Structure 1
Amino acid sequence: MSKSYFICTTPRSGSTLLCRLLEATGRTGNPDSFYHRAEFMREWAEAWGLPDAGAVSQSAFDIAYLAGAIKAGKAGTEVFGLRLQFEYLKLLSDTLGRIFPGLPSDADRFQRAFGEILYVHLTRADKVAQAVSLVKAQQSGLWHMNADGTEYERLGAPRDPQYDFSVLHREVEALERDDRAWCAWFDRHEIRPLRIGYEAFAAQPSQTVIEICGALGLEPSEAGHVSPRLAKLSDAVSEQWILRYRADLASSRQGIERV
């Protein structure tokens, strides 16, 4: 039985919904992005009552933060959960390298810190839709909504999103690059992750939770009662952006070919 799992993913892949569903089982901890942007990590550290990073040595803070993350990620269960985006994999590995020096690889450091790990690779096949979701969230400030229509997570002041082909294209390429990087990382470390597709997960979320519980060695039937608590943010504007992006992309490629 794996005692830990990593949800290895990219932004706007459905990972927040998956984390909340796994938390709702009461058996699979409370997975979250404990190693992420500096401001988020400061908020975690404050919530856990850790000393200010500037008041103690880097080593002392790293060790205290790891202990806090493990406690939060377990949430009173026997299983630790972590959501990890590829751009923060090096941050996690470097931090653990300071705590456990001399280990030869990322995977060795992760196992030393968290025990036997189930790696879950959560991907979204439609990178254009994923990029649209990401850019709209960045611009509007609204990242997630509850199923009842109230806001669950807002990270910026409200403003109307504006279509920008170059911004979307940059995000599509970044999402594709990070997905390839995850696959290369798994291959390099000879890891066979549990692969979860956003589209299948969105269609049958409870089935995905059951699959993860089974892979962790937990009784799958105990996860069947969970249900989504977040609403999809995709709307008519999202569909318009997707169609417009595809048309603009085709037009730009035709222009290149003529040149």
Structure 2
Amino acid sequence: MTDPTRAAGPAEGGTQDWDQFGPEYDQPPFDGTPRTYVIASLQRSGSHMLGHLLHGTDQLGSPLEYLHPRHLAKWQHLLGEPDPAATLRAVMARRTSPSGWFGVKVHWRHLAGVHEDAAIMDALDPKDWVRITRDDKVAQAVSFVIARQTKSWISFQEVRHEPMYDFEGIAKGVRTFEKQEAAWDAWFAERGITPHVVVYEEMLADPARTVTDVCARLGVPAPATLPDPGTTRQATATNAEWRARYLEESGGY
């Protein structure tokens, strides 16, 4: 029987041979109290690429979606821990870099599901925040609709279905992403937090600068060479065509 958690991707869709639960992302066993940084993200914001760039520094943990409900349940099963908070601490022990940093990527909808859980938030105990945002919300919504239809959420995943233009799906995506950005704004404002901001479009233009700036923020040396992000940008001519068509049909927005 297929494991539905193993088959689940970063949001929806298959992971194929990618095993985020396997030893590839493990760090040397860490005995101590990790310092956690959180990548505050939305779907289709480039957070997977950013996480893998930071993982490649060998100093900033393996920032994956540990608070995704299905992923946390899978970890609990694999590690045999009694509850989600204990599971998170066990993951930290194996995914914290020798520098002491543990990274976790959190989409807004996943934080909203656990931020009132005192035990999980106590285990997480974030020391810093890296927020990734995408300026072009129409392009972000187009990317989401295409990924949802093709079941290809990461560049190395197979395209299972040909996408079909969906005006209403794109419009809903734009509204959803704007709402979730506002939720992150309110979250940080209410807690007096000023996160380090990474802009997706700027990361694509200069990934080395992005890595250097995050390393500086977290107080670790920047790597001499740019880490391999393990993924590439997925946008094709279809994305550009859909974006232009949507802007025309929506009157420019």
TM-score tier (shorter): 0.7 to 0.9
Structure 1 spans left out of the alignment, 5+ residues: 52-59, 100-108, 146-150, 254-259
Sort the Cα spacing of 1:163 and 1:21 in 2 relative to 1 into closer, same or farther, 3 A.
same
1:206 maps to: 208
Instruction: Report the counterpart of residue 193 of structure 2 in structure 1.
Output: 191
1:9 equivalent in structure 2: 41
5+ residue gaps, structure 2, are 1-33
**2:134, 2:207 → 1: CA distance?**
14
Return the offset for 1:223: 5.7
Say which SS state the counterpart of residue 154 (structure 2) adopts.
strand
- Structure 1 distance, partners of 2:181, 2:126, is 23
Letter in 1 for 2:140: Q
Q: Which residue of 2 aligns with 1:50?
A: 80
- Asked if residue 131 in structure 1 is aligned to residue 141 in structure 2, the reply is yes
% identical equivalent positions: 29
Per-residue deviation, 1:70: 1.8
Q: How much does 1:90 deviate?
A: 2.5
More helix by share: 1
Contact 2:135 2:201 in 1 (8 A): yes
Match of 2:13 in 1: none
Query: CA deviation digits over 1:190-242, x for unaligned, max 9?
Result: 0011111111111111211111111111122x264324331211111111100
For residues 41 and 187 of structure 1, the distance between their equivalents in structure 2, rounded to whole angstroms, comes to 28
Larger radius of gyration: 1
1:234 partner amino acid: A
- State the Cα distance separating 1:61 from its structure 2 match: 1.2
Does the aligned pair in 2 maintain the 1:86–1:182 contact within 8 Å? yes
Partner of 1:22: 54
CA deviation map 1:139-160 (0-9, x unaligned): 0011112xxxxx2x46xx7111
> What's the counterpart of residue 256 of structure 1?
none
* Superposed CA offset, 1:2-27 (max 9, x none): 92211001001110011111111111
| TM-score of the aligned structures, taking structure 1 as reference length | 0.78
The reply on whether 1:67 has 2:89 as its aligned counterpart is yes
Decide whether the 8 Å contact of 1:122 with 1:197 is kept in 2. yes
Instruction: State the partner residue of 2:100.
Output: 78
Of 102, 105, 109 in structure 2, the residue corresponding to residue 87 of structure 1 is: 109
Measured after TM superposition, the shift of residue 77 of structure 1 is 4.9
1:116 Cα deviation (Å)? 5.2
Separation in 1 of the partners of 2:217 and 2:151? 35
Question: Is the 8 Å Cα contact of residues 70 and 80 (structure 1) preserved in structure 2?
Answer: yes
Could you say if the C-alpha distance between residues 44 and 88 of structure 1 is closer, same or farther in structure 2, counting changes exceeding 3 Å? same
RMSD of aligned Cα (Å): 2.2
Residues 68 and 236 (structure 1 numbering): CA distance in 2 closer, same or farther, change over 3 Å?
same
TM-score by length of 2: 0.80
Give distance in 1, aligned partners of 2:131 and 2:96: 20
Q: After superposition, give the CA deviation of every residue in 1:114-137 in whole Å (9 maximum; x if it has no partner).
A: 445111110000001111111101
Q: Structure 2 matches for 1:221-240, cutoff 5 A?
A: 222=223, 224-240=225-241
CA contact (8 A) 2:35 2:100 kept: yes
Identify which of 144, 160, 163 aligns with 1:161: 163
Residues 1:141 and 2:151 are matched in the alignment: yes
Amino acid at match of 1:49: L
Q: For 1:30 and 1:20, how far apart are their aligned partners in 2?
A: 7
